[in-house]
Amino acid sequence: MSVITVERKILEKNDAIANEIRHSFQEKNIFSINLVSSPGSGKTSLVEQTINLAKDKFNIAVIEGDVQTSLDAERIGVFNIPVVQIITNGSCHLEANLVKDAYKQLEEKEIDLLVIENVGNLVCPAGYDLGEDLKVVIVSTTEGDDKPLKYPAMFRNASALVINKIDLLPYVKCSLETLRKNALSINPNLKIFEISCTKDTGLNEWIEWLQSHLKK
Amino acid sequence: MHELSVAEEIVNISRQYLPKENNVHVKSITIKIGRLSNILPDSLLFCYESLIDNTPLNGSKLIIEEIPIRINCMKCGKNSETDHISFLCPNCNSSEIKIESGTELLISEIELFENNLE
């Protein structure tokens, strides 16, 4: 009978909220990163180490995203910095409205760096803008060197790649050279860090990179 | 799993276009999905059909148009189309490329029909 032309983005609502968040962060000069990886790559370990090394240099706040439990927020809580836990109750990614609600609890805090730790998943979080400045993807050596090729959208959208668990390289089937090559073939502009959170390796360069992006 | 949230948004947006007349129904909703959008069409269809039960969209069909990846190479200047998820120019292998299409995730049109027997 009749056809209505719509031409609207399906995730327009998420994008609109993400832009609102981006605007609030800009006003307050907050530099924000959206930390993404598979489960168990070391997102929370990297956040812990970042706080350890940088909490005397600048103010950090953390939004933790998990499907269940507040275990991660409890881990971050011991550092005595502002942290909010989002529990998605089954959903595989964070959405902008969840971050907006979580940020309400942080609005009064003095923040230079806000880390949003996404749900462990290399697929779904790629499609959802959270209003962050940059996406940082972590891949650990135990996952092998083919992950950038298997999950290209995530690596394409990220600004930095943190390769974690490099101390385990002698024991796992993963070539650092191949991993770097695969990642750069998807995104030639990726800034790459090679670190071990448990052995305190390579973290200074990461902290300096974060510091160079701070807005105040 | 994020097909469910995508299906919910399709329903939310489409409901805004529902006509006031009782005898006019939604026949189909056409959406465009780029190959780079990480959406599994079968899974999206399943989620959509599960959501529209007992809503005014009940009985409507979701038509999915898949959009291929189109790459414009900034090095050799060639335009290429591929179904394979890659960010290298198929002609010269350069990674200096611009993605012209393939990231779409949008509702393009809604088709209505009138049931005069009602």
Tell me if A109 is assigned to some domain: yes
Q: What CATH number should be reported for the domain holding residue A125?
A: 3.40.50.300
Residue B116 pLDDT level (bands cut at 50, 70, 90): confident
Report chain B residues touching chain A, CB-CB < 8 A.
1-2, 5-6, 9-10, 12-14, 17, 24, 27, 31, 36-38, 85-88, 95-96, 105-114
- Nearest CB partner across the interface for A4, out of B12, B17, B114: B17
**CB A60, CB A113: distance < 8 Å:** yes
Residue B107: exposure state from Cβ atoms within 10 A (0-12, 13-18, ≥19): buried
Beta strands in A30-188 (DSSP E): 31-36, 60-66, 83-87, 113-117, 134-140, 160-164
Q: What is the pLDDT of residue A81?
A: 96
Residues of B in contact with A184 (CB under 8 A): 95
Tokens of B12: 């939310």
Task: Report the run of H or E that residue A209 belongs to, with start and end.
Answer: helix A203-213
Q: What is the mean pLDDT of chain A?
A: 96
Query: What's the number of domains chain A is made of?
Result: 1
Where exactly are the structural domains of chain B? 3-69+102-114
Percent of chain A with pLDDT over 90: 93
Which pLDDT tens digit goes with each residue over A123-161?
999 989 999 999 999 999 999 999 999 998 899 999 999
The reply to whether A129 touches chain B by the CB within 8 Å rule is no
Please name the CATH architecture into which domain B3-69+102-114 falls: 2-Layer Sandwich (3.30)
Residue B118 pLDDT level (bands cut at 50, 70, 90): low
- Nearest CB partner across the interface for B107, out of A8, A127, A156: A8
- Nearest CB partner across the interface for B109, out of A3, A95, A126: A3
Tell me if A83 is assigned to some domain: yes
The nearest CA of chain B is from the CA of A10 a distance in Å of 5
Residues of B in contact with A124 (CB under 8 A): 1-2, 38
Which pLDDT tens digit goes with each residue over B40-90?
999 999 999 999 998 889 999 999 999 999 999 999 999 999 877 778 888
Q: What is the pLDDT of residue B44?
A: 97
Task: Report the run of H or E that residue B71 belongs to, with start and end.
Answer: strand B69-73
The reply to whether A172 touches chain B by the CB within 8 Å rule is no
Tell me whether residues A185 and B95 touch, CB distance under 8 A.
yes
Tell me if A6 is assigned to some domain: no
Tell me if A2 is assigned to some domain: no
**Domain span including residue A143:** 12-213
Tell me whether residues A11 and B85 touch, CB distance under 8 A.
no
Tell me if A1 is assigned to some domain: no
Rounded CA separation A133/A135 (Å): 7
pLDDT higher than 90, residue A75: yes
**CB B31, CB A6: distance < 8 Å:** no
Which residue is closest to A122 within chain B, CA to CA? Answer: B38
**CB A154, CB A126: distance < 8 Å:** yes
Percent of chain B with pLDDT over 90: 68
Question: Hey, which residues 35-64 in chain A have their CB within 8 Å of chain B?
Answer: none
